[in-house]
Structure formats: C-alpha cells, structure tokens
Amino acid sequence: MFYREAGEFKASYKADQAILPIRQDRWFIWAILAIAFLVIPTVSSDYWLGTIMLPFLILALAALGLNVLTGYAGQLSLGTGGFMATGAFAAYKLATMFPGMHILLVLLFSGTITAGVGILFGIPSLRIKGFYLAVATLASQFFLIWMFNKFGWFTNYSSSGVITAPPMAAIGDVLVTGAYATVTAKYLFTLSIVTLLALITKNLVRSNIGREWMAVRDMDIAAEIIGIKMLPTKLKAFAYSSFLCGIAGALWAFVHTGSVEPLAFDVNRSFQILFMIIIGGLGSIMGAFLGAAFIVLLPIFLSNAPHWFGLDIPVDLISHIEAMVFGALIIFFLIVEPHGLARLWQITKEKLRLWPFPY
C-alpha cells in the first residue's frame, strides 16, 4: 500500500535513471543516513561506536571492494587481507615520510598504491580462471604479508613489526587518529568516507564499466565477442577493488586499532570478508553492508550468549563452540538463501509492493 511505484511519474531521463527511482526508497536511505550520522553518535556508548560500528563500517568497505571484484566482475579472490595490509602499510609510510600530509590525501594515495599492487596480482587472471585463480590469489596474500613482516623498511625498522598511526586531524584540529581522538570523531570520519565510496561504487557499477564487469562475470567469452576488452576490464576491476580494500586497510590501521601488525590481515581476514559478501549477497552494494553487519555482530553475540544463560564455559571451549556455530550458520544460510541477505531484502520489497492486498 505504502511502498509502490504506481503514481510516480518521471518527467526527465535524469529522474528515470536515478539510483533510487521509487520515492519510498529515497526516504528510507535518507532516514538510514540520518540515523547513522545523527542518532547513533548521540545515543550509543563509546563501546558500541568503537568496537562494533567502526569495524563494521571498515569491514563493510573491504567487503564492498571484494564484491566489486567477485560479485560484479566474477573473479574469485582470496587475497583481500593482503591488499588491506598493503593499504595500511602504504598509509603508514606516507604518513611518516610526509608528516604534514592531510589524512584524506594519505588515504587516497594509499588506495592508489594498493590499486597498483592489485593490478600486478590481477595480471594472471587473464590466463587463469575460476578456482585456479582463487588459489592463485592466495599467492598475493601470503607474499604481501611475508614482505611486510620481513623488510624493516615498511615498519620504519620497528623491532616489533607493529606500525602505529601518528595523530592526524581531519578538519581543523579535530583529531581522527592517535590516542587523543574521540571515538565520535573517528566514527563520523569513517562513516563519511564509507558513505562517499559506497555512493561512487554504486554509480560505477551502474555505468559502462560496471556493465562490462557484469558481462565478463556472466560469460567472459561472450563478453569478448561483443567487443569488451578483457585486459582493461579485468584489471580495472582488480584496481578499483584493491583501491577500496587498501583504504579499508588504512582506516583499520589508522582509525580503528591505531597500531597494527601484518598478522591482523592474515588469510583469516580474507575469508572473513569473503563470508561477508557471500552471506550479504554477491553483486550487491547493500549486501556488503548487511553481510558485514552479520559477520561483525555474530561472534560478539556468540561469545556473550553463554553469559546470558548463566553458563560458565572455559574460554578455549567457547572459541571452539563459536567456530562450530559459525560454520553451521554459514551452511544454514547458504541452504536457506544462497543469494544472501540482499536477496531476502529484495524479496521483502517485492512482497511489500503487494501488501496488504495481494490480488
């Protein structure tokens, strides 16, 4: 009754091609943004902002990056962690080499450097396909982490191999990194960046480039026959995906944890982000956020659940049970809805259009 496109008339092509052609969808998105920017920072505690919202936003950005590569361009990748590490270490080197550089520039350049690395590791994708490529991308994962561990230059020869973000200000003297930054400032800064990048990504996948990616994903030979060049298309996907992952890694190291070692971006991180896009939905911007929310909240829920029931279980047993429940839930989700939460959301919207008069 309330959610429908009937009665909405568009007078221009511009209006017809808007991201959200239905009025109710626009309201919904504005409401979500208003809640995210205004309500959440005022009502939630530092714990919620710092340990749940921040990692959620940053991992959602990384999931967005992987979703561009895997969901839109069809190149299965297990090297996300390596690219995030590249972003983090590039940002650290930039911030320490040029101390006056603004944090936005640092993020931009570290994303660009990661995009270069991504192109380099994307080159084999022209020959190798499917699961062969997925396993081959593990090469980038292990190689990059090894490199950051091994060569002191990347950590400015710190003995522990840990990099620590210098304090940096976003606007005026509002710090967003370092020990004196408030959690609210960090949250709003990350939220703005993630919102902006999500908007850019949404428009990119609607554009010519995005359609080329999807054509390659659906069948690369057919795509080649209709005149899409494999080399630039696939490398563009690798570059943009790594760009997003690099910024996510830099945000993780600088804004979220403040100091980080290469092991924070090991192969488990790659799998975690892959889970996000599978559970959220491949080839969907919304899916990246839904999946990230699910994967970030689930372990917190699982490790707190025994306390709510008054059970006292040793810590290592909890972590095993957590892994068990996690695995079982993933299988459950795949069986119930292989196309992820985003597909459930779509089904809900279709149901809503008919509700409450299905005939």
Partner 1 sequence: MRLERDVIYIILASLLLMVAIPWMAGTLSEDIFFEWPFFFEVAIGGLLSGVMYSLVALGFVLIFKASGVFNFAQGAMVLFSALTLVGLNEMGLPMWLSVIVTLLVMLVLAIAIERVVLRSLVNQEHIILFMATIGIAYFLDGFGQTIWGSEVKNLDIGFSQEPGFYFDGLILINDFDLIAAVIAGILVIVLALFFQYTRIGRALRAVADDHQAALSVGIPLKHIWVIVWAVAGIVALVAGIMWGSKLGVQFSLALIALKALPVLILGGFTSVPGAIIGGLLIGAGEKLAEVFIAPMIGGGIEDWFAYMLALAFLVFRPQGLFGEKIIERV
Residue ranges in contact with partner 1 by CB under 8 A: 70, 76, 124, 127-132, 134-136, 138-139, 142-143, 145-146, 149-151, 219-222, 225, 267, 271, 274-275, 278, 282, 316-317, 320-331, 334-335, 338
Residue 19 CB, nearest distance to partner 1 (Å)?
27
Say if CB 65 and CB 242 are below 8 A apart. Answer: yes
Residue 150 CB, nearest distance to partner 1 (Å)?
5
CB closer to partner 1 out of 102 and 150: 150
Residue 330 CB, nearest distance to partner 1 (Å)?
4
CB closer to partner 1 out of 174 and 219: 219
Please classify residue 4 by burial: count the beta carbons closer than 10 Å to its beta carbon, then call 0-12 exposed, 13-18 middle and 19+ buried. Answer: middle
Question: At residue 195, what is the residue type?
Answer: T
CB closer to partner 1 out of 57 and 276: 276
Say if CB 353 and CB 3 are below 8 A apart. Answer: yes
Say if CB 106 and CB 294 are below 8 A apart. Answer: no
Residue 271 CB, nearest distance to partner 1 (Å)?
7
Provide the 10 A C-beta neighbour count for residue 292: 27
Residue 240 CB, nearest distance to partner 1 (Å)?
20
CB closer to partner 1 out of 111 and 340: 340
Provide the 10 A C-beta neighbour count for residue 30: 11
Q: What angle do CA 43, 45, 46 make, to 5 degrees?
A: 135
Using CA atoms, how far residue 169 sits from 177, 180, 251, 350, in Å, is 7, 11, 14, 45
CB closer to partner 1 out of 124 and 178: 124
